[in-house]
A and B are shown apart, each in its own frame.
Chain A
Amino acid sequence: MINQLSLNEYQKGLADEKLLGIHCKKCNQFSFHSSVVCKHCGSTELETKNFEAAGTIKTYTVIRVASDGFEAPFVVALVKTDSRIHVMGNLDIDPDSVGMELIGKRVSISSKKVNPDPYAKEVTHTLKFVLE
Chain B
Amino acid sequence: MREVAIAGVSMTDFGVSENTCVEMFCEAGIDALNKSKIEPKNIEALFVGNCLGDFEEGQSHIASHIHAALGLPMDSPAMRYENACATATIAVRQAALMVGAGVYDVVLAGGTERVAAMDTPLATRTFAMASNAGYSAPTGITFPGVFAMAAHMYADKYGIEIEELQKYMANVSVKNHYHASMNPKAQFQKEITVDKVLNSVMVADPLHFLDCCPFSDGASAVVIGTKQKVMEMTDKPVYIIGTGQAAGGPIINNPDMTRIKTREASVAQAYKEAGVKPSDIDLCELHDCFTIAEILAIECLGFYEFGKGYDAAQKGETRLGSKKTVINPSGGLKAKGHPIGATGAAQVTEIVEQLRGESGKRQVEGAKTGLVDTLGGEFGTVCNLILRSE
Q: Which residues of A contact B (CB under 8 A)?
A: 7, 10, 32-34, 39, 58-70, 74, 76-78, 80, 85-90, 99-100, 103-104, 114, 116-117, 124-127
Residue of B nearest to A62 (CB): B205
**B137 contacts which chain A residues (CB < 8 A)?**
67, 116-117
Main secondary structure of the interface of B (DSSP, over half): helix
**B62 contacts which chain A residues (CB < 8 A)?**
none
Given contacts A64-B201, A65-B124, A69-B125, contact A76 B150 (CB under 8 A): no
Given contacts A59-B156, A62-B204, A69-B125, contact A78 B135 (CB under 8 A): no
Given contacts A34-B134, A67-B140, A124-B138, contact A61 B145 (CB under 8 A): yes
B265 touches A (CB below 8 Å) = no
Q: How many residues of B contact A (CB 8 A)?
A: 39
Q: Which residues of B contact A (CB under 8 A)?
A: 121-122, 124-125, 127-128, 132, 134-142, 144-145, 148-150, 152-153, 155-156, 162, 201-206, 249-253, 255, 257
Q: In the complex, A62 Cα to B148 Cα: how many Å?
A: 8
23 A–B pairs (Cβ distance < 8 Å), ordered by A:
A33-B249, A33-B252, A59-B150, A59-B156, A59-B257, A61-B148, A61-B149, A61-B152, A61-B206, A63-B204, A64-B201, A64-B204, A67-B121, A67-B128, A87-B252, A88-B136, A88-B139, A88-B251, A100-B152, A116-B138, A116-B140, A124-B138, A125-B138
Q: Is the CB of B203 within 8 A of A59?
A: no
Q: Is the CB of A60 within 8 A of B142?
A: no
**A74 contacts which chain B residues (CB < 8 A)?**
140
**A58 contacts which chain B residues (CB < 8 A)?**
153, 255
Q: In the complex, A34 Cα to B202 Cα: how many Å?
A: 35
Residue of B nearest to A14 (CB): B138
**A10 contacts which chain B residues (CB < 8 A)?**
134
